[in-house]
Structure 1
């Protein structure tokens, strides 16, 4: 990683509110800030209220999270950045995250470590607080408590709040745009690990992040909920990725085990029940038949 290179910051929008715009405007003081707007109606920076120094890519259509991230990464790469922080529009990073995460990534790279991605522990009070990091294992995922100050080797990091080493991007490749949304970050992390790169969780850096809609409580435990359309993508992409040879078999096993339980939760606790189950089964069918990209006509 080059000394003196600017930090890139990419934020993906979809119908943003004024708080989203304010955050992006503040990011522009920390580096090269690129906003990629997937809202169906194209807007200018002036219409959105973005500062002039923020770069805007307004797609005028929902092209999916993978495409938006690829567009943003290309933009900051072209601007000469060596690493990039990736954010959803509703993520609220601290000053520590904005400054410390890129510094730590650069330090690890300077020490000769092949690091593709570093990320914080994320915190969603609705789901019970700080979420543990994950390593794939058998018969279940290994959940690593975010404790201490040393980076932890993990197998998966969520996109939002993570810091990506742009030197690793050519060897790993871009996000898989056929997935559109859901499991985009997991699939990229699997390719990064397969290519010999490390993924590091930083336990003492936290990110407030809301995962999904209002949680549903099942037997005293909170689960993130989504719309029927999102459940279509969750099931479709999981099934499609299970069929890919490079995905870890330990992850495939845990997904196969969890699928029936998810179907029961969607069919019993979420409303409208029929819509959730119907879209889940449609996703399974499309995942098996390779019907990928955006679901049209919904």
Structure 2
């Protein structure tokens, strides 16, 4: 049931924010977050001198972990989470550098998680609905269905069982981290959150969407309009990872056939969209096909 956050709800809750060439707004968001809870910033910015400038701009209370290289979102999240576990935190809020956090968001999700644990429920992750104005408002939660995702509108005052949540804005129950295992470093960036949620559910844990809590989050770059709807858009390199990792997950036994059937339909549709509706579509298609091939032959990790 909904209830407001207070200081007690933030007890033993930390946050992990992943940076990659952040602007001043990203740094400001991390500094605001540090007012409410322990904040660990893991920085994938490659330039060492830029990392030192970022360090000097952050609140002194922030734990700053520079990698001086882009090691990927999975590895960065793992590093931040391991730091919170080492410091005996119970929950970890995960954020992209461009996601807006609020006290009601982090405290509200922690309260939901605590209530689930008090009822002895095996819950790995809780997360808010997210709103991207460019994609027409509040996005539905998702459950996997054969050949089509089942979209669940965020309504009501009861947490909803879902099949995955985007990592940014979600709250991880660190008590189950060792049993589920870390994010998959080899995936590097795309489908990292999807794979972890699938793995958590395959091991008997629940993933819950919290319909009365929402977060502003921009998914990708400027969307493209195709076939009467808006589609999130990314760079050609991101589309390489998207195709490669989708194929990699199609080969894994614990990934449900419902998800696989949907992706087998979506992959060719994406290629058509890139070829026909995206500027420089040839590059997007080329990188996507390269990712598909690397997925088939099992070449994972960062793109060389």
TM-score (normalised: structure 1): 0.96
Moved more, 218-227 or 154-163: 218-227
Residue number in structure 2 paired with 1:112: 120
1:281 aligns with 2:261: no
Residue number in structure 1 paired with 2:62: 54
Instruction: Give every structure 1 segment of 4 or more consecutive aligned residues whose post-TM-superposition deviation is greater than 2 Å.
Output: 44-48
Residue number in structure 2 paired with 1:246: 254
1:259 aligns with 2:267: yes
Asked if the contact 1:32–1:79 (Cα under 8 Å) also holds between the matched residues in 2, the reply is: no
Residue number in structure 2 paired with 1:44: 52
1:1-298 equivalences under 5 Å are 5-42=11-48, 43-44=51-52, 47-296=55-304
Asked if the contact 1:45–1:51 (Cα under 8 Å) also holds between the matched residues in 2, the reply is: no
Q: Distance in 2 between matches of 1:20 and 1:46?
A: 10
Q: What is the number of residues matched between the two proteins? A: 294
Q: Distance in 2 between matches of 1:51 and 1:4?
A: 19
The alpha-carbon distance between structure 1 residues 54 and 47, as it changes in their structure 2 partners (threshold 3 A), is closer
Any unmatched runs of 5+ in structure 1? none
**CA RMSD in angstroms, aligned pairs only:** 1.3
Asked if the contact 2:33–2:101 (Cα under 8 Å) also holds between the matched residues in 1, the reply is: no
Q: Distance in 1 between matches of 2:279 and 2:54?
A: 39
Q: Deviations over 1:88-134 (max 9, x none)?
A: 00001222102111111111111111100000001101011111011
Q: Deviations over 1:9-46 (max 9, x none)?
A: 00000011111111111211222110000001132376
- Say which SS state the counterpart of residue 34 (structure 1) adopts: strand
- Say which SS state the counterpart of residue 66 (structure 1) adopts: helix
Q: What displacement does 1:138 show?
A: 1.8
Q: Distance in 1 between matches of 2:27 and 2:10?
A: 28
- Say which SS state the counterpart of residue 214 (structure 1) adopts: strand
Q: Deviations over 1:115-156 (max 9, x none)?
A: 000000011010111110111112321111100121000110
Q: What displacement does 1:219 show?
A: 3.0
The alpha-carbon distance between structure 1 residues 48 and 242, as it changes in their structure 2 partners (threshold 3 A), is farther
Moved more, 69-78 or 95-104: 95-104
Asked if the contact 1:101–1:118 (Cα under 8 Å) also holds between the matched residues in 2, the reply is: yes
Q: Deviations over 1:211-255 (max 9, x none)?
A: 010000113311011111000000000001000111011000000
Asked if the contact 1:45–1:52 (Cα under 8 Å) also holds between the matched residues in 2, the reply is: no
Q: Deviations over 1:41-67 (max 9, x none)?
A: 132376440011100000000000000
- Say which SS state the counterpart of residue 285 (structure 2) adopts: helix
TM-score (normalised: structure 2): 0.94
The alpha-carbon distance between structure 1 residues 48 and 4, as it changes in their structure 2 partners (threshold 3 A), is closer
Q: What displacement does 1:4 show?
A: 8.7
